[in-house]
Chain A
């Protein structure tokens, strides 16, 4: 049991408190989901549970947090390690040892359990999380999903009764995310562990939750029933939006519940689009001539081919989603197109007025006018002290008229305070700033690597709108993403990579609706009709979503 009693957290130098007067009681054995926009205090709330806030982070905490009878005011995080396990956003940066088995044993070693017990618990934990075959593998050689499972296993092995997870599936492909959630489901249901987790990708987790806490600007709701919470939460998955449109009550949270209720909706939609081809309703795409072309490309990383024999061309003014498992070669392909990684064989060319150009052969200054890449960690592009100076530096870098970057930023963002330090911005705001910087160079080809990591639905919608606008103006957009809902929103075409090869390539509707792993929620509910988004359905019904 976790009790928050009038908890307020104020970090040093922050203009406003991160948590305000939070009073909550989280009972034992529940899976509690914390829902809120970026920067709303989710991570702070999670980190108060094991005392990292304020013991490690600094700042002042008033009120009290009591975990299984231990107040965090007198117990440091290390004293609570047997009570609370915390799995942070990016597990790779939190590994203490080098090998899976050592990592699982590490927590128990610090607790001083006897070696025989450690041995037994290591085996049990490996089995529970399906890691037995990976026990001797170096942690750095694991895929994202495996790393996340290893991180949870390592924390869980120490025997805490409470598990706290910050965005456990945000960086994972849909299948790996399912594996992680299945592991969590098992420890909640079989072992009665209390789980508190924060996650932006509600479509993945909300149906697993027993209770939901809504949080906004540091204020929390009570523990709510998920269906009740979703019925009027401003942050909700597409399924809930569909349910509101169709006026279903209570709100279904799983695809299965929704399909049971969707019979009537399917019939109505079938009448409106008799051929089951809603594609006719959406704006027709006008494919232009090709601007990107790779021929039989092979790209090596660490001496191993990550991309092999890849031939792909992209039409100008199109938005293509590049999907596939973690480690399938998506980032590598983007790096090569941006001229950052050399090709071992074959070619990658960008079309210009004067013919096909190899981006790697151009000096950086001229390359940026051809192709722009927003990397997976957008903060790498930002290095000045404030938003305003960053924009000015970008104007200078790309030799454009002063104020250009600022104008672009104002158009794609919800308004950013020019005096903020880029590192203090939320994940979504940082991405918007980085995107504005890259767009200042007005590249013909825009590449985005995993842009929705850590973005809430509002930021995602603004991003989709910005990308559609760019494509309409003739920019070729290629985005690597795990987010099927984003792909459904913006992509004309979907390319799925596996082991460095193209396994599927086709129109977004056709590809997304035919693959069980990559189908968006709306499609899953309305199959065999192939609607992709709530907006499409709303347009067909003649209502606004």
Chain B
């Protein structure tokens, strides 16, 4: 029997993914964004545990759909950017007076299309980061490190996480089942028909998992009073909300970093307090927990470098971070590119996961 090979700690991969996602959220420069997606693909290809399914593909597909949809909507509805390079002028549909602010048809300019594509690409890159974290460390592995205080939240997260990636697999199964009834599964009406069985199957699977976790003692409260439990839960909830709001502030530049960072810190503090309160009742123990070694720290650092540099770049309004609204190849901010490339380093120095025999 071969010795069990070490897998990198899941939290390290998720923190790395978060850093990279922060980097992606700060820019609409297509070169940097495509690079982020490229880094995700590279690291996943190099360091994914080959025995688990690869959810990155699904996230990339969703990302591509986002870009396509956004561009199509811009063609039809426009986005308020009046470019000089008009590609084609669609017949304009006259709308009544009260809908004067809405425009259907009319001139389609290259500038407005580029703006829409860049903006959608940003979302696609963030999705790719989440997909990469998903592929590198299954959320189920991450869940083992979740403190008992977050039991209720944790259950919801697991149910949600098993729900999303399975949807695609289910859609495929249901589509081939539809073919057995003589439908080839194309067209909008077909799509609506697919939705019901796909959702039902996925719901049933998730509920099955939740029932199994329940009957196997997940979230057992060991030595606890109802009062203490409620206090810990309340703290955890407030803390999680704070963290979420803070993250949102950090990721969404329109709110501004000023609100994001303090909120995040306060949220982390409250969440930390809840963990301390909850830790006294965390009766779980670990069997062969993943260790946190230097490679884990380095991985997180690489993600942080990418995130940090881009946050600084956005704050300092470096050239090329937000490309100009002109139809020309965007300027490439060299430092930002280098920072994103740093995030690719874990593809080499982290331990290689086991291969399937």
Q: Is A90 an interface residue (CB 8 A)?
A: yes
Q: Is B218's CB under 8 angstroms from A380's CB?
A: no
Q: Which of B93-101, B280-288, B335-343 makes up part of the contact surface?
A: B280-288
**CB proximity of B55 to chain A, nearest CB, Å:** 13
Q: Is A394 an interface residue (CB 8 A)?
A: yes
Given A118-B285, A340-B176, A364-B184, decide whether A158 and B217 contact each other with a Cβ distance below 8 A. Answer: yes
Contact flags A358-376 to B (C-beta < 8 A → 1, else 0) = 0000011101100011010
Q: Is B89 an interface residue (CB 8 A)?
A: no
Q: How far is the CA of A375 from the CA of B178 in the complex (A)?
A: 11
Q: How large is the interface on A (under 10, 10 to 19, 20 to 34, 35 or more residues)?
A: 35 or more
Q: Is B226 an interface residue (CB 8 A)?
A: no
Q: Which of A130-138, A209-217, A482-490 makes up part of the contact surface?
A: A130-138
Q: Is A363's CB under 8 angstroms from B222's CB?
A: no
- Nearest to B205 among chain A residues (CB) is A93
Q: Is A252 an interface residue (CB 8 A)?
A: no
User: In residues 113-147 of chain A, which contact B (Cβ within 8 Å)?
Assistant: 113-115, 118-119, 122, 132-133, 135-138, 140-141
User: In residues 12-56 of chain A, which contact B (Cβ within 8 Å)?
Assistant: 50, 52, 55-56
**CB proximity of A163 to chain B, nearest CB, Å:** 12
> Pick the contact of B183 from A80, A81, A397 — CB < 8 Å?
A397
Q: Is A508 an interface residue (CB 8 A)?
A: no
Q: Which of B26-34, B70-78, B195-203, B344-352 makes up part of the contact surface?
A: B195-203
Q: How far is the CA of A281 from the CA of B221 in the complex (A)?
A: 67
Given A90-B208, A96-B216, A106-B216, decide whether A367 and B141 contact each other with a Cβ distance below 8 A. Answer: no
> Pick the contact of A88 from B179, B196, B200, B211 — CB < 8 Å?
B211
> Pick the contact of B209 from A80, A93, A118, A383 — CB < 8 Å?
A93
Contact flags B132-144 to A (C-beta < 8 A → 1, else 0) = 0000001011001
Contact flags B181-201 to A (C-beta < 8 A → 1, else 0) = 111110000000100110011
With a CB–CB cut-off of 8 A, which chain B residues contact A98?
51-52, 138, 140-141
- Nearest to A365 among chain B residues (CB) is B182
Q: Is B208's CB under 8 angstroms from A94's CB?
A: yes
- Nearest to B356 among chain A residues (CB) is A141
Q: Residues of B with Cβ closer than 8 Å to A?
A: 1-2, 4, 51-53, 138, 140-141, 144, 173-174, 176-185, 193, 196-197, 200-201, 205, 208-220, 222, 282-288, 354, 356
22 contacts between A and B (CB under 8 A): A56-B215, A81-B215, A88-B212, A93-B209, A94-B211, A94-B212, A96-B140, A107-B216, A109-B284, A112-B282, A119-B287, A136-B1, A136-B2, A138-B52, A140-B52, A141-B51, A154-B216, A368-B181, A379-B201, A397-B182, A437-B181, A441-B182
Q: How far is the CA of A76 from the CA of B210 in the complex (A)?
A: 14
Q: How far is the CA of A373 from the CA of B285 in the complex (A)?
A: 48
Given A52-B211, A88-B211, A97-B141, decide whether A398 and B216 contact each other with a Cβ distance below 8 A. Answer: no
Q: Is A367's CB under 8 angstroms from B174's CB?
A: no
Which 9 pairs from chain A and chain B are nearest by CB?
A81-B217, A112-B283, A94-B212, A105-B287, A138-B51, A380-B177, A110-B217, A368-B182, A118-B287
Q: How far is the CA of A99 from the CA of B287 in the complex (A)?
A: 13
**CB proximity of A367 to chain B, nearest CB, Å:** 7
Given A110-B217, A112-B222, A141-B51, decide whether A94 and B209 contact each other with a Cβ distance below 8 A. Answer: yes
With a CB–CB cut-off of 8 A, which chain A residues contact B178?
364
With a CB–CB cut-off of 8 A, which chain B residues contact A339?
179
**CB proximity of B112 to chain A, nearest CB, Å:** 40
Q: Is B212's CB under 8 angstroms from A380's CB?
A: no
Q: Is A424 an interface residue (CB 8 A)?
A: no
With a CB–CB cut-off of 8 A, which chain A residues contact B356?
138, 141
With a CB–CB cut-off of 8 A, which chain B residues contact A101?
4, 288
Q: Is A81's CB under 8 angstroms from B4's CB?
A: no
Q: How far is the CA of A56 from the CA of B211 in the complex (A)?
A: 7
Q: Is B284's CB under 8 angstroms from A110's CB?
A: yes
Given A105-B288, A109-B284, A110-B216, decide whether A397 and B181 contact each other with a Cβ distance below 8 A. Answer: yes
> Pick the contact of A383 from B193, B205, B218, B286 — CB < 8 Å?
B193
Contact flags A371-402 to B (C-beta < 8 A → 1, else 0) = 01101000111110000000000100110000
* B interface majority secondary structure: loop
Q: Is A534 an interface residue (CB 8 A)?
A: no
Q: Is B209's CB under 8 angstroms from A96's CB?
A: yes
With a CB–CB cut-off of 8 A, which chain B residues contact A105?
287-288
Q: How far is the CA of A380 from the CA of B178 in the complex (A)?
A: 8
Q: Is B208's CB under 8 angstroms from A112's CB?
A: no
User: In residues 241-270 of chain A, which contact B (Cβ within 8 Å)?
Assistant: none
- Nearest to A381 among chain B residues (CB) is B177
Q: Is A202 an interface residue (CB 8 A)?
A: no
Q: How far is the CA of A141 from the CA of B356 in the complex (A)?
A: 9
Contact flags A77-102 to B (C-beta < 8 A → 1, else 0) = 11111101110101001111111011
Q: How far is the CA of A380 from the CA of B220 in the complex (A)?
A: 36
Q: Is A112's CB under 8 angstroms from B176's CB?
A: no
With a CB–CB cut-off of 8 A, which chain B residues contact A154?
216
Given A380-B174, A397-B181, decide whether A111 and B220 contact each other with a Cβ distance below 8 A. Answer: yes
Q: How far is the CA of A437 from the CA of B182 in the complex (A)?
A: 11
Q: Is A380's CB under 8 angstroms from B182's CB?
A: no
Q: Is A112's CB under 8 angstroms from B284's CB?
A: yes
Q: Is A93's CB under 8 angstroms from B180's CB?
A: no
Q: Taking each of B176, B180, B197, B285, which has the highest tally of chain A beta carbons within 10 Å of its own beta carbon?
A: B180
Q: How far is the CA of A132 from the CA of B2 in the complex (A)?
A: 12
With a CB–CB cut-off of 8 A, which chain B residues contact A189?
none
With a CB–CB cut-off of 8 A, which chain B residues contact A112?
220, 222, 282-285
Q: How far is the CA of A77 from the CA of B210 in the complex (A)?
A: 12
Q: How far is the CA of A331 from the CA of B346 in the complex (A)?
A: 40
Q: How far is the CA of A135 from the CA of B52 in the complex (A)?
A: 16
Q: How far is the CA of A31 from the CA of B2 in the complex (A)?
A: 37
Q: How far is the CA of A132 from the CA of B185 in the complex (A)?
A: 44
**CB proximity of B110 to chain A, nearest CB, Å:** 40
Q: How far is the CA of A95 from the CA of B158 in the complex (A)?
A: 12
With a CB–CB cut-off of 8 A, which chain B residues contact A140?
51-53
With a CB–CB cut-off of 8 A, which chain B residues contact A86?
215
Given A94-B209, A158-B216, A380-B197, decide whether A109 and B287 contact each other with a Cβ distance below 8 A. Answer: yes
- Nearest to A84 among chain B residues (CB) is B215
Q: Is A423 an interface residue (CB 8 A)?
A: yes
Q: Is B214's CB under 8 angstroms from A77's CB?
A: yes
Q: How far is the CA of A101 from the CA of B289 in the complex (A)?
A: 12
> Pick the contact of B286 from A115, A135, A340 — CB < 8 Å?
A115
Q: How far is the CA of A140 from the CA of B53 in the complex (A)?
A: 9
Given A380-B201, A394-B181, decide whether A78 and B218 contact each other with a Cβ distance below 8 A. Answer: yes
Q: Is A338 an interface residue (CB 8 A)?
A: yes
With a CB–CB cut-off of 8 A, which chain B residues contact A95?
212
Q: Is A368's CB under 8 angstroms from B1's CB?
A: no
Q: Taking each of B173, B201, B211, B216, which has the highest tally of chain A beta carbons within 10 Å of its own beta carbon?
A: B216
Q: Is A364's CB under 8 angstroms from B1's CB?
A: no
Q: Is A136's CB under 8 angstroms from B354's CB?
A: yes
Q: Is A423's CB under 8 angstroms from B220's CB?
A: no
Given A105-B287, A136-B2, A380-B197, decide whether A52 and B214 contact each other with a Cβ distance below 8 A. Answer: yes
Q: Is A438's CB under 8 angstroms from B217's CB?
A: no
**CB proximity of B350 to chain A, nearest CB, Å:** 18
Contacts A76-B214, A97-B141 known; list 19 others, CB within 8 Å: A56-B210, A81-B216, A94-B212, A96-B140, A96-B209, A102-B287, A105-B287, A109-B285, A109-B287, A110-B220, A111-B284, A115-B287, A119-B287, A158-B217, A363-B184, A364-B183, A372-B180, A397-B182, A423-B200
